[in-house]
């Protein structure tokens, strides 16, 4: 085969393979980035809600006896989303335990704090122990 023809065939083959592989690769990167953005948003909102509930500043509406406050209701909604967006087994287990779907030896307050650490760790692609060490400073 002629060297110019070989070059043209190789260039065409590379061009065709790149045109098929590039969109799939780009889509995979986009999905991963979008998932991380959603995880960070959930972790931030979870932190805000547990702080509001703990501080008792969840007073957007007067709480009727036996009814959950708006922050508590939103927190429950977030707990249902966590198993969908997060993959770490410890993260999912803590969310399900807070929903009452698993055995718990720990207090709900401790579970919420641990869950916040696991949410942040997974959303930031770091280890839970690194989050704990940052909290000890």
How far is residue 134's CA from residue 124's CA, in Å, rounded to a whole number?
13
- When pLDDT is cut at 50, 70 and 90, the band that residue 61 belongs to is low
For residues 80-86, average pLDDT: 92
When pLDDT is averaged across residues 112-127 and rounded to a whole number, the result is 89
pLDDT attached to residue 42:
92
Report pLDDT digits (tens) over 37-57: 999 999 999 999 888 887 776
Residue 50 has φ and ψ, to the nearest 5°, of: -70, -30
Greater model confidence, 136 or 46:
46
State both tokens at 98.
Answer: 């807070």
Residue 78 above 90 pLDDT? yes
Whether residue 35 is predicted with pLDDT greater than 80 in this model: the reply is yes
pTM exceeds 0.75 for this model: no
Residue matched to tokens 């061009």: 15
% the chain with pLDDT above 90: 26
Output 133 or 16, whichever has higher pLDDT: 16
Where are the chain's structural domains? 34-136
In angstroms, rounded to a whole number, what is the distance separating the alpha carbons of residues 23 and 19?
7
Distance, C-alpha 113 to centroid of its chain: 15
């Amino acid at each position: 085969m002629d060297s110019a023809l070989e070059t043209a065939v190789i260039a065409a083959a590379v061009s065709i393979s790149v045109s098929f592989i590039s969109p799939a690769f780009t889509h995979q990167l986009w999905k991963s980035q979008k998932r991380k953005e959603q995880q960070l948003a959930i972790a931030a909102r979870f932190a805000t809600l547990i702080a509001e509930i703990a501080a008792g500043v969840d007073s957007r509406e007067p709480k009727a006896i036996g009814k959950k406050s708006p922050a508590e209701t939103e927190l429950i909604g977030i707990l249902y989303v966590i198993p969908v967006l997060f993959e770490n087994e410890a993260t999912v287990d803590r969310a399900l335990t807070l929903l009452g779907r698993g055995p718990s030896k720990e207090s709900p307050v401790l579970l919420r704090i641990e869950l916040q650490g696991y949410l942040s760790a997974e959303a930031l692609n770091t280890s839970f122990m690194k989050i704990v060490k940052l909290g000890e400073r």
